[in-house]
Amino acid sequence: MVAEVLSSLGVRPAGAYIDCTAGEGGHAAAVLGATEPGPRLLGIDLDTQALDTARRRLEAQGEAVKLEYGSYVDLMRMAGAHGFLQADGVLFDLGVSSMQVEAASRGFSFSREGRLDMRFDPAGPRTAFDLVNGLAERELADIIYQLGEEPRSRGIARSIVQARPIETTVELADAVGRAIGRSRSKNVHPATRTFQALRMAVNGELDNIREGLEQAIGVLRSGGRLVAIGYHSLEDGLVKRVLRREASDCVCPPGLPECVCDHRAAIRLISRRVIRPTREEVRANPRSRSARMRVAERL
């Protein structure tokens, strides 16, 4: 959704933009090339391998680009350290990247055999192997149900525990498959939701997204744009709730006779309805079919 991102950010010459999920630098390159003279950009990512690729890709941009290893939960500090407070735009492209999925050694994909890992940050303390082989059956079922929205979570957890030790992505997919059988959808692997849940648990994604969005609002100048792209209902639902809350003058529970929260809107919603990729983009890049973009502007 590069065209939609550039349009929603409203990239302006010599502006200051932050890509909170820089990855291999695709969106960053598009933002930097959108105007003449070009803007400045701060790119953040936990994946050191992806950042190495982004550095090579953006090398010609010189001092216009700052790339930082870290999490967007530390966005305020990093923006301040690099002179990006009062930013003109902040972008989040959430979820797992194609490079991460395609690298068997990262353990994200059930279609490529590799050791269970799923860490965005290769130096992170906890892997999918740790969860799959260390959690109690009920804890595992709760994660798969809550983060994967998988209704057959208890049977899956039971099958996983019976198959322990599980060391590879294929072994895990097989354990899930034994619990579920054939998927009702030809396009969705039966282990998709389980892998999503474990990845989100390993990386603490929902808590991090909430914190990152709140900090992003804080670093934007008045009129600056926040763009967030999610890829499943939990991500998009969280983005939607945070943006709606921060666009409201009152967040008191319903039924109170008067407002006691003293909350004031910090943003206005540019897209009240979710923005989806075009049919042409989905044909060219099938993985984009689940993308859901929301846009807000700092008051």
Containing H/E element for 159? helix 153-163
For residue 264 the two structure tokens come to 């004031």
pLDDT band for position 22 (50/70/90)? very high
- Please tell me the predicted confidence (pLDDT) of residue 112: 87
Write down the pTM of the prediction: 0.93
pLDDT of residue 183: 59
Q: What is the pLDDT of residues 217-263, one digit of tens each?
A: 999 999 999 999 999 999 999 999 999 999 999 888 887 888 888 88
Pair type for strands 220-230 and 87-93:
parallel
- pLDDT band for position 186 (50/70/90)? low
Cα separation, 33 vs 273, whole angstroms: 28
**Complete domains list, the chain, with CATH:** 2-93+205-298 (3.40.50.150), 107-203 (1.10.150.170)
pLDDT tens digits, residue range 42-97? 999 999 999 999 999 999 999 999 999 999 999 999 999 999 999 999 999 998 88
Res. 287: pLDDT tops 90: no
Higher local confidence (pLDDT), 116 or 104:
116
Q: What is the mean pLDDT of residues 258-286?
A: 89
pLDDT tier at 192, thresholds 50, 70, 90 = very high
Q: How does residue 188 score in pLDDT terms, banded at 50, 70 and 90?
A: confident
- DSSP letters of 162-215? HH-S--BHHHHHHHHHHHH-S-SSTTS-TTHHHHHHHHHHHHTHHHHHHHHHHH
Q: So what's the pLDDT on residue 130?
A: 98
pLDDT at 85: 96
